[in-house]
Amino acid sequence: MNQLDRALRHPGRKALIAYVTVGYPDLDTMLRLVPLLAENGCDVIELGIPFSDPLADGATIQQASHIALQNGMTPDGCFEVAARLSRVVDTPLVFMSYYNPVLRKGIDCFCSIAARSGVSGLIVPDLPVDEGEILEQCSRKHDLDLIYLVAPTTTKLRIRQVAERSRGFLYLVSLTGVTGSRADLDEGLEHFVARVRAETTLPLCVGFGISLPSQASRVARIADGVIVGSRLLQLVGCDRSLVSATAFVRELRSALDSVTV
């Protein structure tokens, strides 16, 4: 059982996964943020590699990526940041990257450096399972979990196919659309999670649109983990002291812990 498996399979505990964009709002703030996330209840931390065309992301993460790129952040810089963070936090780190930076670096080279940097897994939202075989092979070679996404529109056959080839956990997209804070989650979320649960024993973690502790509680009742990104980045952008972001994470942790498993 690797580091990511251990983090997601704690009996009686729902996983809290936080997304941050590497280099946003600036490198020093981001390097202070990640240890605080780990100390205040996050079980996994996604490190978003900033990209110029983040098609799955809403306005908040698009803006964060833009600012990080303006700050000079590069994929190589993300490897260096991951290595620094892995020396100071025990919480598993997962890269979220679009496929272009992986291809430009070279698939095996990217996986090799990511693993040496202390990263436990990869999420590549624009990589369909039909085209993932090479990255799957390279990620396994370097003991990285390749985590696929499943949407509410995904068919039963497709869910089964993705579940068979995903490792670590399945990333369930809570709605059809892009990332971003929302006041309400989709009414069909429970049915969607149940459909996926019937096809796999992998942990199911739900993201896209979760911005309130009450929403996190709802998700925790039906899934194994909650993924939060846009709202966290909004708070970090408004308050670089990180007091607001830390308080938000504590509220989420408390909401998850209040759910009876």
> pLDDT tens for residues 244-255?
999 999 999 999
pTM: 0.93
Give 152-167 pLDDT, tens digit per residue: 999 999 999 999 999 9
Residue 182 has pLDDT above 60, yes or no: no
pLDDT for res 176: 55
Give 110-156 pLDDT, tens digit per residue: 999 999 999 999 999 999 999 999 999 999 999 999 999 999 999 99
Q: Which of 104-113, 136-145, 203-212 is predicted with the least confidence, judged by mean pLDDT?
A: 203-212
Q: Residue 6: which pLDDT band, with cuts at 50, 70 and 90? A: confident
Partners of 204 in the beta sheet? Answer: 170
Residue 180 has pLDDT above 60, yes or no: no
Q: Which of 235, 243, 108 is nearest to 181 (CA)?
A: 235
pLDDT for res 186: 62
Is 80 noted as a catalytic residue in this protein? no
pLDDT for res 183: 46
pLDDT for res 197: 97
List the domain boundaries for the chain: 3-255
Look up residue 18 and give its DSSP letter. E
Considering the candidates 5, 26, 46, 184, report the single residue annotated as catalytic. 46
Q: Which of 50, 32, 53 is nearest to 243 (CA)?
A: 32
Q: Which of 92-101, 181-190, 251-260 is predicted with the least confidence, judged by mean pLDDT?
A: 181-190
Give 47-104 pLDDT, tens digit per residue: 999 998 877 778 899 999 999 999 999 999 999 999 999 999 999 999 999 999 999 9
Q: How many CA atoms lie within 13 A of 147 on its CB side?
A: 25
Tokens of residue 52, six digits: 């110029």
Considering the candidates 57, 136, 145, 224, report the single residue annotated as catalytic. 57
Q: How many CA atoms lie within 13 A of 216 on its CB side?
A: 26
pLDDT for res 178: 44
Is 46 noted as a catalytic residue in this protein? yes
The second-level CATH assignment, the architecture, of 3-255 is Alpha-Beta Barrel (3.20)
Amino acid letter, 8: L
- Over pLDDT 90: what percentage of the chain? 84
53 vs 32 pLDDT, higher one:
32
Distance CA 58, CA 258 (A): 30
Q: Residue 4: which pLDDT band, with cuts at 50, 70 and 90? A: confident
Q: Which residues, at least 6 apart from 63, have a Cβ–Cβ distance to it below 8 Å?
A: none
Peptide linkage before 128 cis (omega within 30 of 0)? no
Distance CA 180, CA 61 (A): 8
4 vs 160 pLDDT, higher one:
160
Average pLDDT, the chain: 92
